[in-house]
Structure 1
Amino acid sequence: MNNSDCRCVICHDYGDRAERHPADQRLIDNVGEHGWGVLGIPEEDTTGSWAYTVGLWHTYRMPEVAMFGMNPQTMIAMLNIVGRQVAAGNGLELGQRLDSVINDGHQVVLRPIDETWRWPLFGTGFRFYRDTPEWPVLHCVWPDRAQRFPGDPEAAPEFEERQPRLDLTPAEHPRGKWTTIYEEWLEWSRT
């Protein structure tokens, strides 16, 4: 894909610019000024918290990055670190471990996200990219204090519940708040 393939809201006028929600316009302004923006979604009774970048693919042809299970402001700060690393010329790829995202010296790892999770979790990204054929997104997974990542048999159950296993389909994923988000989206999308 090259820049001429981009048909996002910055690159193409869809005739609805005057109707944009102010939050969408702030995101577009951030992408225009910095090369990316970060959205944070707070935890609710039935959902966990998450944050993700929008614009890394548009500006740098690097995957968008998502984090889950921490305070949204903390994840926004961490994803901005990733964005600055990308802006400095560092690449992002599946399986890569990143230093300096978490202050305590732990590394994070970039994992895949099954396609079925994309619409329920990254709707604003779809609004931004609109007609752009594909834009990749990776899951930035953080370890527990013993350096165990979700999926490790020794990881504590409460740790496992904070971060979804997005490499699994919703049907394969353990039941909980993350599958609830998917099921609610599925029900909503059918109406």
Structure 2
Amino acid sequence: MAVAPMDNNIYLIQCTATGAGLLVDAAAEADRVLALLGATEPVGVVTTHRHGDHLGALAEVLTATGVGSWAGAPDAAAVAAAAGVPLPRPLSDGDRLTVGALTISVIALRGHTPGSIALAWTDPDDGLTHLVTGDSLFPGGPGRTRTPEDFRTLMTDLEQRVFARFDDATVVHPGHGLPTTLGAERGSLPDWWARGW
């Protein structure tokens, strides 16, 4: 679901076997976010990174649902301060979250922010892998970085932790805009390196 003027994507990862669900990026419009949950039994909310446009409804959603939240360890304190919520449970690269029968892997993609993370899981019904990448990977390239070092860090993490690990059919669900696949983006890696953004 896209919300707010920046068309932030909010995702609900739901286990169809149990009804458990994980909300990703409570960006804005809390009433719509809560309606999206419907009869889902939420286990928590993950914030992909510390930027304010990805956490505007976090406090209201946490209060309404009574669940806790997670964020990448280097961003957790900033998320708490920006949203006015308790410190999210910190996540690190390689951590796993359980949502009903689903196991969701945490991938640190440093660079857009120090604690940016992606979530990966494989659909048990069709075997397709999905990545929710926040603002770290979009159709057409990596997310915005502020310094050449941040760009190199993000690109290295994307190459080593995403493109080297997952196949071309993997679906990428970015923080804004439409989805893509790793296959559609893989051939552009040299171009991204060359342009430096």
- TM-score tier by shorter-chain length is under 0.3
Q: Which has the higher helix share?
A: 1
- For normalisation by structure 1, the TM-score amounts to 0.28
Q: Which has the higher strand share?
A: 2
Task: Say which structure, 1 or 2, has more relative contact order (CA 8 Å, 6+ apart).
Answer: 1
Structure with greater Cα Rg: 1
